[in-house]
Amino acid sequence: MTTNTSNTQIRHDWCLTEIVQLFELPLNDLLFLAQSIHRQNFDPNALQISRLLSIKTGACPEDCKYCAQSGHNQTELEKEKLLEVASVIEAARKAKAEGASRFCMGAAWRCPMDKDMPYVLEMVREVKALGMETCMTLGMLTLEQAHQLGSEGLDYYNHNLDTSEAYYDQIVTTRTYQDRLDTLQHVRDAGMKICSGGILGMGESREDRAGLLMQLANLPEHPESVPINMLIKIAGTPLADEEDLDSFEFVRTVAVARIMMPRSWVRLSAGRESMNDQMQALCYFAGANSVFCGDKLLTTGNTTVSDDKSLFERLGLNTVDTQAPTEELNRDMAVLAELKRSAENELFFNAME
C-alpha cells in the first residue's frame, strides 16, 4: 500500500477495502502515518478539553444496548428531571475553572419536546456568555429544532452513529441508522458543527469499525469533532458481559480516524478510566487530541482532573482553547521536515509501499 503524507488530502470517497488495509498495517507504520498527518494539521502536543454534563437523566425510550439510561435496561440508575438552568451554569463555571473550553450538555430523550426547548435554549445562551464553546446531545432533531439551537449560537451538536450501518440493528432497534444521518444533516443545514463518532467493543468486527469511519468520512463534510468511545460495561445492560476489545485495536481505530479525517478533533472519549497511562499516550500519538475532563461523564466515571493533569504534564501536553485546527503550524515544523527528508532518503525503508 503506497501512501503519500506530503499533503493533507480531504476525501469523501473512502471504500471499505482500503480502510481495512489501513487497519492491517504494522502498528509502527500506521502510527507513523497517523502522526505525520496529525502534525500537518494540529499542534501535536495540544489537547482540547471538554466537560460533559447530564441535564436530564434516565427513562430514555430508546433501546440502546450499551446505555444505562435506556428504559429498556435494568440498571440502578435513578431518574432525574431536566436540571434548572442555574445548576447547569454553575457546573459550566466549574468546568471552565478546571480548564475546559467546551461545555457539553446531554439529555436522555428520543427527541426534545417543545416544552423543554426554552430551557435548553437558555442554557446555550448562558454558557456562551461564560466564553465557552457549547455542545448539546438531545437525541434526534427536526430541522426546525436544529435552527432554533443554531440561532442561539450552539456551536456543536453531538449525535453518534455508534457503529457501522451493517451492525447497527444489533445495538439499537428503536431508531434507524437513517434517522441518525437525517439529524446530522439537519444540524449541518442549521449551520452548526457536527460531533459524531461511535463506540468500540460492542462485539463488532474490524470491518464494522472500518464501516463506521467510512460513514463519517464520506459525509459531505467531515464532522468537526469525532469522539471514539470504549464501551463501558454497565450491569443491567445487554452488553455488560461483552469481551474486552484489544487495546491495540482501539489505538488502531484512533489512528485510522486521524488519517481519514485529518482536520477533525478526534476525542478520546468514554472509557479512559479503564485505560492505563501507556494506552492513553499511544492514543494521543495516534492522533487523539481532545478529551472529556472531570470525574463523571453523563452517568459513568471518568479519570479525575488531577490524574489528567499529572499525565498531561508527564507527556508534555498542553491544553488549548480554539475552535478550529491550525492550518499552518510554526511549532515542530523542523521535526516534520526531517521526517519528510528521511522518507525520501534511500536508506529509509518504507514498509507501506
Q: What's the pLDDT score for residue 28? A: 97
Q: Beta-carbon neighbour count of residue 342 at 10 Å?
A: 11
Catalytic annotation present for 111 = no
Point out the least confidently predicted range of 115-124, 158-167, 275-284, 294-303: 294-303
The single residue of 39, 102, 175, 195 carrying the catalytic annotation is 195
Between the CA atoms of 262, 223, 95 and 98, what dihedral angle is there, to the nearest 10 degrees? 0
CATH code linked to domain 25-345: 3.20.20.70
267 given a catalytic annotation = yes
pTM above 0.75, yes or no: yes
Q: Which of 293, 138, 158 is nearest to 223 (CA)?
A: 158
Catalytic-labelled residue, pool 135, 175, 180, 272: 135
The per-residue pLDDT for range 135-150, each reduced to its tens digit, is 999 988 999 999 999 9
Average pLDDT value for residue range 214-234: 94
195 flagged as catalytic = yes
Active site residue 104: yes
Residue 234 confidence (pLDDT)? 82
Average pLDDT over residues 285-299: 78
Amino acid 325: pLDDT: 45
283 tagged catalytic: no
* CA proximity to 23, closest of 214, 253, 212: 253
15 is catalytic: no
Instruction: Tell me, yes or no, if 293 is annotated catalytic.
Output: no
Q: What integer best gives the mean pLDDT of the chain?
A: 85
Q: 9: pLDDT confidence band, cut at 50, 70 and 90?
A: confident
- For 307-327, the pLDDT digits (tens) are 888 899 999 999 886 544 444
16 within 8 A of 207, measured Cβ to Cβ: yes
What pLDDT, on the 0 to 100 scale, is given for residue 177?
Answer: 95
- Catalytic residue of the set 51, 252, 258, 267: 267
Catalytic annotation, pick one of 39, 51, 60, 283 = 60
Phi/psi of residue 228, nearest 5 degrees = -110, 110
Residue 166 neighbours by CB under 8 Å, 6+ apart: 207, 208, 211
